[in-house]
Amino acid sequence: MVATKKRRTPNLRQRGSSWVVSFRQDGKQVWRSFKTKDEAQTYLANVNLKRANHERVAVPARKVVFREIADEWIRISEHERACSASTMRDYRSVVAQLKDAFGTLRLEQVTAGRIEAWRNEQMEKRHVSNRCANKWVSVLHGIFELARQPRYGYGSNPTDEIPKLTERPPAALDFYSPEEVWALVRAAKDEQDGALFLTAAFSGLRRGELIALRWRDVDFAGHSLRVSGSYSAGALGLPKWGKVRSVPMVDDLAAVLAKLGQRDESTGDDDLVFPGNWGGYLDGSALRRRYVAAQKKAGLRPLRFHDLRHVFGSLAIRKADIVQLQSWMGHANVTTTRRYLHFRPQATDAALLGEAFKIEKPDEVASILQAPGVQLDAAGFRSDAGEPEKIPVNTTVQRNEAAGDDKV
């Protein structure tokens, strides 16, 4: 009888000021050192899980500090994933904060407990929203997913252990009526600003998409606008989510753009529809200031420039289905588009359901409605048969154990 060699279990012990996890893999002894017991136990739990599932434990060929992997994640996001300029600006801002907190630590030292403690401390110190704090953890998740690739060999993602904070639901949409939009157009500094405000409200283009719009994207014959680019943070890129799309161009908007196209310059196919100085891109901050000035001149309540986009969404949903609107507005997720559903008229929905509730024997329904004690008025069904019969006080209630119901 051949004796089988018993597999040794991973070992956790303290050596001086460090905690060490050791185990054998591929005939070699593996040692991992940690500064705290918490970090060592987290790694040990991952080792035991892998071994129980007969999986290899990823062992880094060398120790990697957080700063290194964070910089690589930024590089991949910009060059390989081709994230937009505005997205990269947000990523760099978040990663700079993360590097301040964890930059010199090895990856295995950035545990879930350490991340949560830092997040809570920052929320208390800076009074940031739950949404902002969740964004920090989301970026960390992406960084550690990169670290799990074979070239780094990090075994687990500590952010998986961090519950997401509850975010406040988005505020109710507020936007201008078409009449208020026209008042804004009339109060604009010049014809170009007025046309830009109208395009934002009647097509739903984002500010960066408006700034990047060229005359070749305006299809008068096809009654549409082609959204193929977005200018943000000083760089031209693809629209948000990388989605090139077409948006219907209503007649009023087409007329205003056609008139704008009769100016003396900047009317070629490659020219910008809304150029800045010397034919270059508009300054977004200056545009926002002129928008606020037009608001005040028109006597309108203060709304963000982005709220002009909601004019299009709230009006378009009255005639289009949600899939069409999602495509026109360039939403990555239909959940975002659903915010506009409550602006859809309900009368047509009631008429549609009325067809579903019809029955084949209307005479039966008529006989029921004409029965004594039943009347139908503007308020709906009601009974005038008098007060309902009251149950006598001394009536007992017996329990039917078999049927599980009460009988009077």
Q: What domains are defined for the chain?
A: 11-52 (no CATH), 66-161 (1.10.150), 178-343 (1.10.443.10)
- Per-residue model confidence as pLDDT tens digits over 119-154: 999 999 999 999 999 999 999 999 999 998 867 777
- Which band of pLDDT confidence, cut at 50, 70 and 90, is reported for residue 13? confident
Q: How far apart are CA 105 and CA 147, in angstroms?
A: 14
- Per-residue model confidence as pLDDT tens digits over 73-82: 999 999 888 8
Q: Which helix (H) or strand (E) segment is 186 a member of?
A: helix 178-186
Provide the pairing of β-strand 224-227 with 230-232.
Answer: unpaired
Residue 391 confidence (pLDDT) above 70: no
User: What pLDDT does 169 receive?
Assistant: 82
- Which band of pLDDT confidence, cut at 50, 70 and 90, is reported for residue 156? confident
User: What pLDDT does 180 receive?
Assistant: 97
Q: How far apart are CA 13 and CA 111, in angstroms?
A: 19
Q: Are 274 and 210 in contact (CB under 8 A)?
A: yes
- Which band of pLDDT confidence, cut at 50, 70 and 90, is reported for residue 237? confident
| Structure token digits, residue 305 | 């420039």
Bridge-partner residues for 397, per DSSP? none
Burial label, 258 (beta-carbon count in 10 A; 0-12, 13-18, 19+): exposed
Report the b/e string of 373-404 with b at 16+ CB within 10 A. eeeeeeeeeeeeeeeeeeeeeeeeeeeeeeee
User: What pLDDT does 372 receive?
Assistant: 62
Give first-to-last CA distance, the chain, whole Å: 77
- Which band of pLDDT confidence, cut at 50, 70 and 90, is reported for residue 11? confident
Q: Are 85 and 234 in contact (CB under 8 A)?
A: yes
Q: How far apart are CA 151 and CA 68, in angstroms?
A: 13
Burial label, 210 (beta-carbon count in 10 A; 0-12, 13-18, 19+): buried
Choose the weakest-confidence range: 1-5, 179-183, 303-307: 1-5
- Per-residue model confidence as pLDDT tens digits over 351-383: 777 777 766 656 665 665 566 655 545 444 444
Residue predicted with more confidence, 59 or 113: 113
User: What pLDDT does 369 receive?
Assistant: 57
User: What pLDDT does 6 receive?
Assistant: 54
Instruction: Give the residue carrying structure tokens 């329990």.
Output: 399
Choose the weakest-confidence range: 60-74, 301-315, 365-379: 365-379
User: What pLDDT does 190 receive?
Assistant: 97
Q: How far apart are CA 87 and CA 4, in angstroms?
A: 57
Q: How far apart are CA 293 and CA 62, in angstroms?
A: 58
% of the chain residues with pLDDT over 70: 83
For 177, how many CA atoms within 13 A lie in the half-sphere containing its CB? 3
- Which band of pLDDT confidence, cut at 50, 70 and 90, is reported for residue 94? very high
Burial label, 59 (beta-carbon count in 10 A; 0-12, 13-18, 19+): middle
User: What pLDDT does 32 receive?
Assistant: 76
| Structure token digits, residue 138 | 């989301």
Bridge-partner residues for 23, per DSSP? 30
Residue predicted with more confidence, 218 or 39: 218
User: What pLDDT does 62 receive?
Assistant: 59
CA 259 to chain centroid, in Å, comes to 37
- Per-residue model confidence as pLDDT tens digits over 255-298: 999 999 999 999 999 999 999 988 899 999 999 999 999 999 99
Q: What is the chain's mean pLDDT, rounded?
A: 85
